[in-house]
């Protein structure tokens, strides 16, 4: 009986490849028709928030030719090449809909029928199910979630309201203004903002170095870092978090905006910041301060959920936000052999964490397999 890896994105490929390094062949099940399908579906201008040399998968780093900040298309090419070089052969078009305990092993309900597994690695991704607020139900004007946004072309000559305070909202807003689109950004909670890099030094390195610093220390430290690296944007509607930027991250699970053009666009007046949206009716947008807008279209960068409830919600392995209670090689005592890879929000960079999780998970599965009696199937 083999281990099964669910998902052929960065996490799934990394775990499967590292298992092969241990001599363990796993089945990789992917519901789409190719690797890195979630990357391929994102907006055209997407660029990694993390630097190339801290974003590669085990056994094959991202080549220098991809540049310091890898593009969406570059990441898709890299992962396809990674699967080929590392001899990972996913089964495409197979969707897993439920995981259940079956004695000392696991049984998966799939679109191709039931499948048993000695261990299961859930690597389906952090951003799989788009979230839309109630006000998006019947807005009376064109509205898409950021997952459906591709490029500025459909919005030429229009006034677009972008809703959200994360990296997707900031990047889509910058993408639109770069094409001459009039952009208003609606923000409920002013985000923390850090430079993507300063004098060539990636801010990600700070996230790595400070990962284990306690919350009471991180709050004043993050405030100090913002003051010295990002201009005061309070007059533009984006005041810095009131001394609790790190607590805000822990509470909201929203990574700080990594700036590479957003701050300048706001200061230049090319992006106008307004309060939170409270309702949209017949094309009129009501804001929290009592004012209204009538944009031509809305892009709602209002977040995602991993959508794991149908798959494992009955197993008691998720928290109130639908995130795994245990990640990487850590498993719950009630669900031995059930692992989650790449489904966690981190300041140090998700791809870097995936690479480390893959090694730890593969090592744990290989050690468990070595302890099994030779006669077991």
* Whether 318 and 289 share a structural domain: no
- CB atoms near residue 82 (< 10 Å): 23
Look at 244 and 161; give whichever has higher pLDDT: 161
**C-alpha to C-alpha distance for 102 and 326, rounded to whole angstroms:** 21
Could you tell me the sign of the dihedral formed by the alpha carbons of 141, 172, 77, 204, in that order? negative
Position 369 scores a pLDDT of 86
**Predicted pLDDT at 227:** 72
Q: Is 72 part of a structural domain of the chain?
A: yes
Query: What digits encode the pLDDT tens for the residues 299-314?
Result: 999 999 999 999 999 9
Whether residues 185 and 73 share a domain: the answer is no
Whether 272 maps to a domain, the answer reads yes
295 part of a folded domain:
yes
Residue 93 falls inside a structural domain: yes
SS3 content of the chain, % helix, strand, coil (to 5): 35, 20, 45
Which pLDDT value is given to residue 82?
Answer: 98
- Dist CA 101 CA 113 (whole Å): 16
Residue 240's pLDDT band (cuts 50, 70, 90): confident
Query: Are 236 and 345 within one domain?
Result: no
CB atoms within 10 A of CB 313: 13
Find, among 297, 348, 338, the residue nearest to 184 by Cα: 297
Distance CA 105, CA 13 (A): 22
* Beta-bridge partners for 293: 285
Instruction: Give residue-wise pLDDT tens across range 285-300.
Output: 999 999 999 999 999 9
Q: What is the pTM of this model?
A: 0.90
d(CA 296, CA 93): 38
Residue 249 lies in a domain: yes
What is the C-alpha separation between 169 and 156, in angstroms, rounded?
Answer: 18
pLDDT for 105 beyond 80: yes
pLDDT of 211: 67
Q: Is the pLDDT of residue 377 over 50?
A: no
Is the same domain home to 101 and 166? no
Of 70, 99, 97, 86, which is closest to residue 35 (Cα–Cα)?
86
The range of the structural domain enclosing residue 33 comes to: 4-128+306-371
For residue 310, is it within any domain?
yes
Task: Please check whether residues 326 and 266 belong to one and the same domain.
Answer: no
Q: Clarify whether residues 315 and 295 are in a common domain.
A: no
pLDDT in the model for residue 263: 95
- pLDDT tier at 228 (50, 70, 90 boundaries)? low
Say if residue 270 is in the same domain as residue 316: no
Q: H-helix or E-strand containing 29? A: strand 27-30
pLDDT, tens only, 331-356: 999 999 999 999 988 777 899 999 99
100 and 20 in a common domain:
yes
What's residue 347's pLDDT? 73
Q: Is 376 part of any domain? A: no
Q: What radius of gyration do the chain's Cα atoms show?
A: 22
Amino acid 11: pLDDT? 98
CA-closest candidate to residue 284, choices 173, 138, 155, 172:
138
Is residue 376 pLDDT above 50, yes or no?
no
Do 118 and 148 belong to one domain? no
How many structural domains are present in the chain?
A: 2
Best CA proximity match to 341, nearest among 35, 37, 15, 95:
15
Chain mean position to CA 348: 13
3-state secondary structure of 241: coil
Residue pair 119/27 in contact by the 8 Å Cβ criterion? no
**142 and 285 share a domain?**
yes
Kindly state whether residue 377 falls inside one of the protein's structural domains: no
Of 300, 327, 342, the residue at which a domain comes to its end is: 300
pLDDT band at 230 (very low <50, low <70, confident <90, very high): confident
102 shares its domain with 167: no
Q: What is the pLDDT of residue 4?
A: 98
Query: Tokens 């923390």 belong to which residue?
Result: 192
C-alpha span between 358 and 20 (Å, rounded)? 11
What span, in angstroms and rounded, lies between the C-alpha atoms of 55 and 29?
23
Average pLDDT of every residue of the chain: 91
pLDDT in tens, 12-34: 999 999 999 999 999 999 999 99
Write the CATH number for 86: 3.50.50.60
For residue 298, with 0-12 CB atoms within 10 Å meaning exposed, 13-18 middle and 19 or more buried, which class applies?
buried
pLDDT at 69 over 50: yes
| 136 and 258 assigned to the same domain | yes
* pLDDT > 50? residue 326: yes
Per residue in 174-209, pLDDT (tens digit) is: 999 999 999 999 999 888 888 887 666 777 766 666
Of residues 117 and 194, the one with the higher pLDDT is: 117
**Which two tokens mark 169?**
């909202």
Q: State the pLDDT at residue 373.
A: 63
More confident residue, 126 or 195: 126
| Residues near 308 by beta carbon (within 8 Å), at least 6 away in sequence | 122, 124, 318, 322, 324, 343
CA–CA distance from 103 to each of 25, 44, 67 (Å)? 22, 46, 48
Q: Which of 300, 326, 347 is the last residue of a domain?
A: 300
| Last-in-domain residue among 300, 333, 363 | 300
């Amino acid at each position: 009986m083999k281990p099964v890896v669910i998902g052929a994105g960065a996490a799934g490929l990394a775990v499967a490849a590292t298992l092969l390094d241990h001599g363990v062949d796993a089945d990789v099940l992917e519901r789409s028709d190719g690797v890195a399908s979630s990357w391929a579906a994102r907006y055209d201008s997407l660029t990694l928030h993390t630097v190339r040399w801290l974003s590669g998968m085990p056994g094959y780093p991202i080549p220098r030719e991809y540049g310091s900040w890898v593009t969406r298309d570059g990441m898709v090419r890299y992962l396809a090449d990674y699967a080929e070089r590392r001899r990972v052969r996913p089964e495409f078009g197979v969707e897993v809909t439920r995981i259940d305990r079956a004695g000392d092993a696991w049984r998966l309900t799939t679109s191709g029928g039931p499948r048993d597994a000695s261990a299961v690695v859930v690597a389906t991704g952090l951003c799989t199910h788009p979230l839309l607020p109630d006000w998006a139900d019947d807005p009376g004007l064109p509205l898409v979630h950021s997952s459906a946004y591709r490029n500025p072309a459909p919005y030429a000559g229009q006034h677009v309201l972008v809703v959200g305070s994360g990296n997707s909202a900031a990047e889509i807003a910058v993408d639109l203004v770069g094409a001459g689109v009039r952009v208003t950004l609606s923000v409920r909670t002013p985000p923390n903002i850090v430079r993507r890099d300063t004098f060539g030094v990636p801010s990600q390195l700070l996230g790595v170095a400070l990962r284990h610093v306690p919350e009471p220390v991180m709050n004043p430290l993050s405030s100090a870092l913002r003051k010295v690296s990002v201009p005061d944007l309070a007059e533009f509607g984006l005041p810095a978090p009131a001394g609790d930027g790190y607590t805000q991250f822990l509470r909201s699970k929203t990574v700080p905006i990594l700036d590479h053009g957003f701050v300048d666009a706001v200061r230049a007046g090319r992006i106008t910041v307004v309060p939170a949206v409270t309702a949209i009716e017949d094309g009129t947008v009501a804001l929290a301060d009592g004012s209204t807008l009538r944009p031509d279209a809305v892009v709602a960068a209002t977040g995602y959920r991993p959508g794991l409830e149908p798959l494992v919600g009955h197993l008691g392995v998720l928290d109130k936000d639908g995130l795994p209670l245990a990640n990487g090689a850590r498993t719950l005592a009630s669900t031995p052999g059930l692992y989650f890879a790449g489904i966690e929000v981190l300041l140090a960079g998700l791809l870097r964490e995936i690479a480390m999780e893959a090694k730890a998970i593969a090592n744990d599965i290989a050690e468990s397999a070595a302890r099994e009696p030779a006669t077991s199937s």
